[in-house]
Structure 1
Amino acid sequence: METKGSFVVPTAPLRLEGAGIVLREWTEDDVDALVEMYDDPEIARWTPVVSPFDSGAARAYLDKARTSRAEGRTAQLAVTTDGGRPRGEVLLFRSGSDERDAELAYGVGAEHRGQGLAARAVRLVTELTLRELRPRRLVLCIEHGNTASEAVAHACGFTLTDELPVTRQAKGREVLLRTWSLRPENADRG
């Protein structure tokens, strides 16, 4: 049940285009690309995604994404340049810390890094979220030392907050994530 003022994930299907990219829903045809993207030491290091990441893990990941999507909890979108082969992913979901906030997460496959795909995807989802969904703020929760994700956050106008780190369990260890925030009134800075 939604409470007054809580952020709601947009309904499927969702497709966003702009800045030379197309964000689209995942399909069963994306299993091989998902393995290619997520069976990577950097993805394993900074995300809760299982490692090694094989076709079984990819199918389980897609099943979980579809279930979460159907329940209106998360929008997980493939980052593409043309609507075809995925090069990364951007996630939009209600923050676990405050349901009035929207949270974003992202990852880009190793061979596609350095092309600005994550920043462009974050900006595109940010624009939609602030314009149509109107959360109190957008947040990114990033583990200290993940300089690539911190650079994306900074490039997109997010600022590091002084909030206590968010604690999450991932792969049998406690992960401390720092909160980066973007309020609607500051969205044009990114």
Structure 2
Amino acid sequence: MDTNRTLTLVPPVRLAGYGVVLREWTDADLADLVALYDDPEMARWTPVASPFDLEAARAYLAGAREGRAQGRKVQLAVTTDGVRPRGEVLLFLSGPDERDVELAYGVGPAHRGQGLAARAVRLAAEYTVRDIRPRRVVLRIDAANTASEAVARSCAFELADEPPVRRVSRGREIVLRTWWLPA
């Protein structure tokens, strides 16, 4: 594993297609971050703080900027107009194999059921394949998260034939299945 690998992305990253615009977070987005992440479903499936308040949003944004500066990850607001965040998609070097780029995503409660996650994942995956050129683009999803598995399938990801990845989130172990995007 190449532990010195980084995501070399020219800032600011802004991607448009499929009726969504993905852009980097700004300080003006703090209230929107709270609206997106202070939600029981987000708390259930993501490692973010819960409850997620303005202080948590500031810490989250600082962590996003630090990860970006280190070349470890980029966190993009999912918008339909380039302005108001409705969700997020993350691109980061995968812990199990840093030749892989892992995507993660979430859509705020007021914006679910509109196909935003699938459109954002499709756009981010195409960008990753074209511009970052990892060994694989992967998703790691809890088997009980049927909505995320449906997004994976709709974006042509396939369940990988490999052992689950175990992670600790807020003091509890979670078991994630790996989905990969065939070439």
State the number of aligned residues.
Answer: 182
- Taking the aligned partners of 1:7 and 1:63, their CA distance within structure 2 comes to 19
1:113-132 to structure 2, matched below 5 A, reads 113-132=112-131
Match of 1:54 in 2: 53
- Taking the aligned partners of 1:173 and 1:133, their CA distance within structure 2 comes to 32
- Taking the aligned partners of 2:65 and 2:3, their CA distance within structure 1 comes to 24
Match of 1:146 in 2: 145
Match of 2:36 in 1: 37
Equivalent AA in structure 2 for residue 22 of structure 1: V
Match of 2:105 in 1: 106
Match of 2:133 in 1: 134
CA deviations on 1:62-97 (whole Å, 9 max, x unpaired) are 000001111111010000001111000000011111
8 Å Cα contact 2:92-2:101 kept in structure 1: yes
- Taking the aligned partners of 2:75 and 2:10, their CA distance within structure 1 comes to 12
Q: CA deviation at 1:8?
A: 2.8
Q: Secondary structure at the match of 2:139?
A: strand
Q: CA deviation at 1:109?
A: 0.2
Match of 2:92 in 1: 93
> How much is the aligned-residue C-alpha RMSD, in angstroms?
1.4
Q: CA deviation at 1:11?
A: 3.1
- Taking the aligned partners of 1:83 and 1:119, their CA distance within structure 2 comes to 17
Q: Secondary structure at the match of 2:128?
A: helix
CA deviations on 1:39-72 (whole Å, 9 max, x unpaired) are 0000000110110000000000000000111111
Unaligned 5+ residue runs, structure 1?
A: 186-190
Q: CA deviation at 1:9?
A: 4.6
Equivalent AA in structure 2 for residue 17 of structure 1: A
Paired-residue identity, %: 65
Q: Secondary structure at the match of 2:12?
A: coil
1:170-185 to structure 2, matched below 5 A, reads 170-183=169-182, 185=183
- Taking the aligned partners of 1:110 and 1:156, their CA distance within structure 2 comes to 21
Please list every run of at least 4 consecutive aligned residues from structure 1 whose deviation after the TM superposition is greater than 3 angstroms: none
8 Å Cα contact 2:6-2:71 kept in structure 1: no
2:153 aligned with 1:157: no
